[in-house]
Amino acid sequence: MSFDSLGLCDELLSAIASRGYATPTPIQTQAIPVIFEGKDLLAGAQTGTGKTAAFALPIVQILSEMVLPSKRRSPRALVLVPTRELAAQVSEQMQNYGRRLSLRSTMIYGGVNIQAQIERLHRGVDIVVATPGRLLDHVERNTINLSKIEFLVLDEADRMLDLGFIDDILNIVEYLPSQRQNLLFSATYSQSIKQLADEILDQPQRIEVARRNIAADAVTQLIYSVDRNRKREMLSHLIRKGEWNQVLVFVRTRYGADKLTDELLFDGIKAAPIHSNKSQSIRTRTLAEFKRGELRVLVATDVAARGLDIERLPHVVNYDLPQVPEDYVHRIGRTGRAGEDGVAISLVCSAEKPLLFEIEKLLEYNIPRQTIAEFPQIAVKRGVKAKVTKKSKGSSKPKKKSVQPTKAKPPSKPTKAKSPAKTTTSKRGKAATERPAPKTGRRGSRS
């Protein structure tokens, strides 16, 4: 299958070529014809599968068939996304494709001055990529007209539900015309997504490019069991000995992100935090530095879990396991994108075993366990030069005198882990968990 055969116009084919895409990904092959046919779509797609282009390309092409004079333009496509970072990424693609066909796209999200957004909307736009809260702010101020929307896209819908956007989404839908095409993309497919789909979609075509709730195939996953108070030491060790140059580390709290960043800096590893307490300009700058390879470690809370698209990101570490099992899938989906291999390592302490159990239940398989035989015997405490005192809990080997110059790089496939790494798996039931459905109490606008 080639992009030519999907019925895309020359301008978009050249845009695709300049992005270096040779062939469409499975979600693109399946979704683009459905969107051209004018049908609603319910798409289950793994993260990093190329789903943005799958909806952006046909929407841009259809909208370009009728471009209005600037001042009279009201948005005709609305893409709702869970985070500002995802808004920026989707908007970048919309802008890239749209400008070749004289379409204007803008991005709307909170945490920044609203005035500039109002002015851009006033000048006229065709496509709006928005987070739900700030969009509602515009609706209430009457600074956006949603009555001409022809396309509604819910991107990473499961994440929007996790973040509690259900009421905002349903509220926004009330302002849209009933005649429109609806596209819903979600990496995981829970009871609540089913319910949202019933509310909003009209006889959707269903597409599933990956098995339900499965994590990205290209990602090698590993578990290292470690004492809670030795996680930081193990992380520094993995980064240094593995010579990792770009690693995204997930922690649970904003405080935890700041603290771990300080500790890594203390260990001489260039790191920076990204979370919702940071201003948007700092978040954007930090992310850009990380993408350019100027920052070795990005320490993130789950705000960064979805949508972040970092080319060839080789390593993701779950320093803390996520509270919501679905977030594990999204976190590790930051690596192994678009055909590249990636490694996702989780540092799991005993208190996190129940969370791991839930994650493995969702995945319907066990993640290989591994130990580091050469885990260093030197513990470096904040501001104190360490002594050789601690015995590595993760090691099955006798205590050694000094740090061994071996690489702690994980094997390319966890199941093929060789000595001294020890791989163990446990027996587990197969049923997948479903999160409770939101209480909406509403009906969709299309009946």
Q: Closest CB to ligand AMP among 1 and 116?
A: 1
DSSP collapsed to 3 states, 262-320: HHHHHCCCCEEEECCCCCHHHHHHHHHHHHCCCCCEEEECHHHCCCCCCCCCCEEEECC
Q: Name the residue nearer to ligand AMP (CB basis): 80 or 421.
A: 80
CB closer to ligand AMP, 43 vs 363: 43
Specify the residue, 16 or 163, whose C-beta has the smaller distance to ligand AMP. 16
State the minimum distance, in angstroms, from the CB of residue 41 to ligand AMP.
15
Smallest Cα–Cα separation from 73: which of 102, 50, 38? 102
Shortest distance (Å) from residue 328 CB to ligand AMP: 18
CA contacts within 13 A on the Cβ side of 2: 4
**Nearer residue to ligand AMP within complex by CB, 92 or 137:** 92
Contact 156, 85 (CB under 8 A): no
176 versus 303: smaller Cβ distance to ligand AMP = 303
Residues engaged in binding ligand AMP (CB under 6 A): 21, 24-25, 28, 48-53, 309, 311, 337-338
Cβ closest to ligand AMP, residue 150 vs residue 309: 309
Whichever of 52 and 392 has its CB closer to ligand AMP, that residue is 52
Question: How far apart are CB 107 and ligand AMP at their closest, in Å?
Answer: 16
Provide the minimum distance between the beta carbon of 51 and ligand AMP in the complex, in angstroms, as a whole number.
Answer: 5
Least distance to ligand AMP, CB of residue 359, Å: 22
Q: How far is the CB of 50 from ligand AMP (least distance, A)?
A: 3
Tell the smallest beta-carbon distance from residue 127 to ligand AMP (Å): 16
Query: What residues have CB less than 8 Å from 100, skipping those under 6 apart?
Result: 11, 12, 14, 15
**10-13 contact pairs (CB < 8 A, 24+):** 11/100, 11/101, 12/57, 12/60, 12/61, 12/97, 12/100, 12/101
Q: Which residues contact 245 (CB under 8 A, 6 or more apart)?
A: 293, 296, 314
Q: How far apart are CA 370 and CA 394, in angstroms?
A: 9
Whole-angstrom distance, CA of residue 412 vs CA of residue 220: 7
φ, ψ dihedrals at 77, nearest 5°: -130, 135
Which residue from 372, 369, 367, 368 is spatially nearest to 408, judged by alpha carbons?
Answer: 372
Q: How far is the CB of 436 from ligand AMP (least distance, A)?
A: 27
CB of 79 vs ligand AMP, minimal distance in Å? 12
Is the CB of 309 or the CB of 327 nearer to ligand AMP?
Answer: 309
